[in-house]
Amino acid sequence: MPKRQFPFTADRPNCRLHRRTRNALLLGCLLRIPPNPHGPGRRRKDSLITPHGLYCYKVMPFELKNAGATYQRLMTKIFKPLVGRTVEVYIDDIVVKSKTQREHALHLQEVFHLLRKYDMKLNPSKCAFDISAGKFPGFMVSQRGIKVSPDQVKAVMEIPPPRNKKELQRLTGKLVALGRFIARFTDELLPFFLAIRKAGVNGWTDGCQNAVEKNQNTTSCNHPF
C-alpha cells in the first residue's frame, strides 16, 4: 500500500493543553474503521496468502506503514469541530479539556456524541476521568506547563553506545525530541553532533561517548516548559 502522508501535531496540542486544562479526560480509543475504505482494489494489495486460501483485511491493521497517518487523518476529520477548542487528538489518544466541572460535562457530551456517531470504541483501562495532569502524547502536561516524561529521560540515560548508523540515528532522534527541555539546546548538543559526524568515518570514539554522557546529565535536570 502506498504511503499517504499526514502531519502529526504532537507539539501543538501540548502547547494548547497546559494553558487551559483544569479538568481533563484522557481517552484511549479503539476505532473500528469501516470495511473496505479504499475500494476493492486496495483490499487485493493487502491480501495474505495462506495454506487455506487467500485472505484480506476487513479493517485496516496497524502494522501497515501508513496506518498511523491514515488513523490521524480520520481522527482529525471526525473531531474537527472540537479540535483546538475542547479536544486534542493524537492518533488514538484523546484529551477533553475544560476550565470548570460544568463545562467539562458539556464537553464530554459533545465528544460522546461523535463517538457514537462514528461507532468508536473506548478502552476502559486507558480512560482517566477528571484529572488535572497526565501524559499526552509522551509529555507530562499540567497547569504548570509541559514537562518531559520520566520514561523519555530514562530511555536516554540508559541507552547503550551506538554500534551502527541506525542506532546512532535513533539516539540522535531521542535527543532532538527533548530539545525543548534543554537550555541552549544547539550549544549543548553541538559537541555531540560534531562527534557523531566524525564517527561516520572513525567509528564510535571516546569523544562521542563523552558528548552523550554530558547530554544525558543535561536531560536529567528538566523543568516544565
Q: Averaged over 41-69, what is the pLDDT? A: 75
The pLDDT tens digits for 194-225 are: 766 766 555 666 766 776 676 666 665 554 44
The answer to whether residue 118 scores a pLDDT higher than 60 is: yes
Name all domains of the chain by residue range, CATH numbers in brackets: 11-146 (3.30.70.270), 149-220 (no CATH)
| Sign of the alpha-carbon torsion through 96, 80, 125, 117 | positive
Residue 11: band (very low, low, confident or very high) from pLDDT cuts 50, 70, 90: low
Residue 87: band (very low, low, confident or very high) from pLDDT cuts 50, 70, 90: confident
Give me the pLDDT at residue 146, please: 72
Give me the pLDDT at residue 155, please: 74
